[in-house]
Amino acid sequence: MLSAIQHYIDNPDDIPDIPQASADYLAARCNVSYIQRTGILDQLRKEGFSEQALYGFCEGLSAVVEIIELMQEQRHLQE
């Protein structure tokens, strides 16, 4: 895994495409509405996670969606 990390440190513009079905699935699962409606946020609260921790978790999910969009942009640039 360290070599893969180093590759993207050395080559930040080497962004792979992502299949549409994978992008759609990840974008849905990493959506705050999804984790609210499925009870994941409530479960994390019951497990004792602070609101700050939950906010950080939601911010991380938003970052995932941004990365998916970045990966999809590469497809459009190549077309």
Comparing 2-6, 7-11, 40-44, 75-79, the range with the smallest average pLDDT is: 75-79
Q: Which long-range contacts (C-beta less than 8 Å, at least 24 apart) are formed by 24-31?
A: 26/64, 26/65, 26/68, 27/65, 27/68, 30/61, 30/62, 30/64, 30/65, 30/68, 31/61, 31/65
Domain spans in the chain, listed from the N-terminal domain onward: 17-78
Predicted structure pTM score? 0.80
Please check the confidence at residue 51 and state whether its pLDDT lies above 90: yes
Q: What is the average pLDDT across 24-46?
A: 96
